[in-house]
Amino acid sequence: MDAIIGFITELTGEKRGPSKHYRRFNVLTLDNESIAGWVFSTMEIDQTSSGNILVRAAKNDTSVRLQGKLSTETNGTKTIKVSINNKLDKCINWTESTSKRPDTVLTISSINDALLSNESSRIEAVVLDENDLITFIQNDKQRQYKIFIIGDTSGTSPLLVYDELIDNLQISESYTFTQLKCKKIHKKIILTTTANSIVEKATNIVIPDLNDMNESMSLKQIDIEQITCCFDEICHSQKEPICSTCKQNMMPVIGKEHLLKCLNCSKFILLKPNPTQSSIVIQIDNQKTTFYTRSDVLQKYFQQHNPQLPITNENLSEYYLINGPWVLTLSHFRHELININK
């Protein structure tokens, strides 16, 4: 069992997987080192002694001692995984240290820099406006998103926010956004949250530059759209199995070829045939755009109209490339092909 002492930052809300509750956070050590953290529990984390200390430490900037499994990736990134085994478990506890929290080592980007970056960004911005809440079904689960307008000293941008993060935001409040990515929607680059995004109240009040506010507010709000066109390209790739609890890759178990295990939360699953993820490239307003397919939408339509032919990548590509144009139902915000017809 490994132990570290530090300050809790960027603590996420509690989520529940199939068998365990979990939260993500970062630990800022006294040496100004940032270590990623996970805490897992079979019961509600906030109802345990360790979970209560974790939340209070994050809120009050108080140092704690964490006991768990510390690992180091090949790129030098360190992660500690803490397991709460019972309500009174002391795997997270207060320290007697009176040290003050060191300045954070994480870099804050401007909105303009984040819009130009291919990597995840961390920004501080104020919420300026919001649009209607939209619900949709993805992989048989109901999800939701909302587009906000945010701003900082470099300008403004639409921000596409998903699911539970939506309720964290209020107009005129300043926040620190972590793990944002940029995405092209309707020929405009905007920012979007990801599965790993964290939203926290900022310690500073952000004063934005509003000179480009009209441009940010002019983003085309249409998500679901039906168009008629031909396919330029079709690509097929194998999807890697992902842990449904913590969204990490599942790895084969040595000597147990029928099992996969998540190295992060230790969840097991049975190995199933690896499904194929198809994507299409089409032209919209003379620009090539890629859309990923909803589960088996191309395969199901092909089988309905070609019951005598086997479903292979070669047959799918030949059929859809030759027999266009197609009537496509698309989601621009998710870059997803929802349905296909003639």
**Residue-wise pLDDT tens digits, 266-281:** 788 777 655 667 899 9
pLDDT of residue 191: 96
* Residue at 100 is within a domain: no
Is the predicted pLDDT of residue 240 greater than 70, yes or no? no
Higher pLDDT, 222 or 206: 206
Whether 153 and 168 map to the same domain: the answer is: yes
Peptide bond into 241 cis (omega under 30): no
Beta bridge partners of 35: 27
Domain check: are 338 and 227 in the same one?
A: yes
Q: Are 218 and 185 in contact (CB under 8 A)?
A: no
> What is the overall mean pLDDT for the chain?
87
Are the C-beta atoms of residues 293 and 254 closer than 8 Å to each other? Answer: no
Alpha-helical runs (H) found in 91-174: 111-116
**Averaged pLDDT, 35-63:** 90
Task: Say which CATH number the domain at 159 has.
Answer: 2.40.50.140
* Rounded average pLDDT over 65-92: 90
330 plus 312 within the same structural domain: yes
Q: What is the reported pLDDT for 277?
A: 76
The listed range with the strongest mean pLDDT (130-144, 209-223, 232-246, 273-287) is 209-223
pLDDT band at 118 (very low <50, low <70, confident <90, very high): confident
Out of 40, 68, 94, pick the residue that ends a domain.
94
> Is residue 131 assigned to a domain?
yes
Would you say residue 22 has pLDDT above 80? yes
SS3 78: strand
Which tens digits make up the pLDDT trace of 1-20? 899 999 998 888 888 776 78
CB atoms within 10 A of CB 258: 9
- Asked if residue 134 is part of any domain, the answer here is yes
Average pLDDT over residues 152-171: 95
Q: CA angle at residue 17 from 160 to 39, to 5 degrees?
A: 90
In a domain, 102, yes or no: no
Q: Is residue 81, in this structure, part of any structural domain at all? A: yes
- The answer to whether 201 and 211 are in contact (CB under 8 A) is no
**Binning pLDDT at 50, 70 and 90, where does residue 114 land?**
very high
Tell me: pLDDT of 102 over 70.
Answer: no
How high is the pLDDT of residue 5?
A: 92
User: Residue 25: is it exposed, middle or buried by C-beta count within 10 angstroms (0-12/13-18/19+)?
Assistant: buried
Confidence of residue 238 (pLDDT cuts 50, 70, 90): low
Residue 106 has pLDDT above 60, yes or no: no
Query: Comparing 40-54, 208-222, 270-284, which segment has the lowest mean pLDDT?
Result: 270-284
Q: Can you tell me whether residue 216 is helix, strand or coil?
A: helix
295-314 pLDDT per residue, tens:
689 999 999 999 999 988 89
Task: State yes or no: pLDDT of 97 exceeds 80.
Answer: no
Question: Residue 328 and residue 150: Cα distance in Å, rounded?
Answer: 32
pLDDT above 90 covers a percentage of the chain that reads 48
pLDDT reported for residue 325:
94
Domain that holds residue 35: 2-94
**Nearest by Cα to 199 from 213, 178, 181, 220:** 178
